[in-house]
A and B are shown apart, each in its own frame.
Chain A
């Protein structure tokens, strides 16, 4: 797996990994990963979540076609108890 090769995501086209900001934390993932693949890695497939990428909502139907890039700012949310 590419994930096991630790290379910085900042090497441009040579990069084997990508570093995202996920819920305010850096996360390094294989380069060219799709949002659907990321959601699957996180164990959220089929769960009630919503995703924002760089300030824009990504509809569930577009997770597969959304390729994540270095520096992308992702927010993944759920409903929790509140008033």
Chain B
């Protein structure tokens, strides 16, 4: 019930987590363990030339032998930069094809540039990448990305790192209803209830970083997110009761209440 499949690989956890903004690699690793995530995102950056080459490496703390590493293109503002970054990532990770594409359009909002995202997707799919794509919550763009061959579509819930939660559940529902590939909410989750709502809407998974890393206790929040994603998934599968607007129905029997006086017939 809780396993799901992306690009023919099956994963136990529907919670995907980032590795940014932690105090150190020990905290990173502890939070990932507490989250139960199988898929873990990383960024690709230039080495610091001239600095100690023996400083600890993220991939020692989060080894590819244990986790599925999902390299991202965070910080890229053009399709070309995103494609180059993921080619480097594929070399770095010994030919690993799964990647997270994000092409940004604005440094203040980090809103995705969907035109560049579509361009990069075409190239990456042609080159054999399995593309999980970050996008806006526009159902038409989501469909086009799917049609280009993305293995998962990942609309934002709200702005990256904002913690504002799910701003447009209606659009997400349209995207989910039409999708033939997994839909994951990526970005904007702030707390456990946001993750649960995403899963109750029918998302296949949730990807988050700041909601865990910027919590006062990241490890406890990672645990909370694990439970929220599981709870939301179960609630979705269980099928919620219909909403009855302004129409109460008691849960307890209406008859047999003490003190009631029955008139003789």
Q: Which residues of A come within 8 Å of B, CB atoms?
A: 22-25, 27, 42-44, 47-52, 55, 57, 59-60, 75-83
Given contacts A81-B43, A82-B43, A83-B74, 13 further A-B contacts (CB under 8 A): A27-B49, A43-B54, A44-B53, A57-B90, A57-B91, A60-B91, A77-B44, A79-B43, A80-B45, A81-B21, A82-B18, A83-B18, A83-B20
Contact flags B25-44 to A (C-beta < 8 A → 1, else 0): 00010000000000001111
**B residues with CB within 8 A of A:** 18-22, 28, 41-47, 49, 52-54, 57-59, 69, 71-72, 74, 84-85, 87-93, 160-161, 187, 207-210
Asked, given contacts A83-B20, A83-B210, whether A52 binds B87 with beta carbons under 8 Å apart, the answer is: yes
Please determine whether A23 and B91 come into contact, CB atoms closer than 8 angstroms: no
A75 to B19, CA, bound (A): 23
Q: How far is the CA of A79 from the CA of B46 in the complex (A)?
A: 9
Q: Determine whether the beta carbon of A77 is less than 8 Å from that of B57.
A: no
20 example contacts (A-B, Cβ-Cβ < 8 A) are as follows: A44-B53, A49-B47, A50-B44, A50-B89, A76-B47, A77-B45, A77-B47, A77-B92, A78-B45, A79-B58, A79-B69, A79-B89, A80-B58, A81-B42, A82-B18, A82-B19, A82-B41, A83-B18, A83-B20, A83-B161
A7 to B161 alpha-carbon distance, docked (Å): 49
Q: Tell me the bound Cα distance from A49 to B57 in angstroms.
A: 10
A83/B208 in contact, CB under 8 A: yes
* Given A22-B49, A25-B49, A82 and B91 contact (CB-CB distance below 8 Å): no
Shortest Cβ gap from B39 to chain A (Å): 12
Known: A23-B49, A48-B57, A75-B46. A83 touches B91 (CB 8 A): no
Going nearest first, the 6 A-B pairs with the smallest beta carbon separation are A82-B43, A83-B18, A83-B209, A43-B53, A50-B92, A50-B91
Contact B74 A79 (CB under 8 A): no
- Separation of A52 and B42 alpha carbons in the complex (Å): 19
* Chain B residues whose CB sits within 8 angstroms of the CB of A83 once the complex forms: 18-21, 41, 43, 72, 74, 160-161, 187, 207-210
Closest residue to B95 on the A side, CB-wise?
A59
Complex-state Cα separation, A60 to B90, whole angstroms = 12
Q: Quote the shortest CB–CB distance from B195 to chain A (angstroms).
A: 14
A23 CB contacts on chain B under 8 angstroms: 46-47, 49
**How long is the Cα–Cα vector from A78 to B45 in the complex, in angstroms?**
6
Q: Contacts of A52 on B, CB cut-off 8 Å?
A: 84, 87-88
State the Cβ distance, B19 to closest chain A Cβ, in Å.
4
Q: Known: A80-B43, A81-B20, A82-B72. Is A57-B88 also a contact (CB below 8 A)?
A: yes
Partner of A55, one of B47, B57, B84, B208: B84
Residues of chain A with a CB closer than 8 A to B21's CB: 81, 83
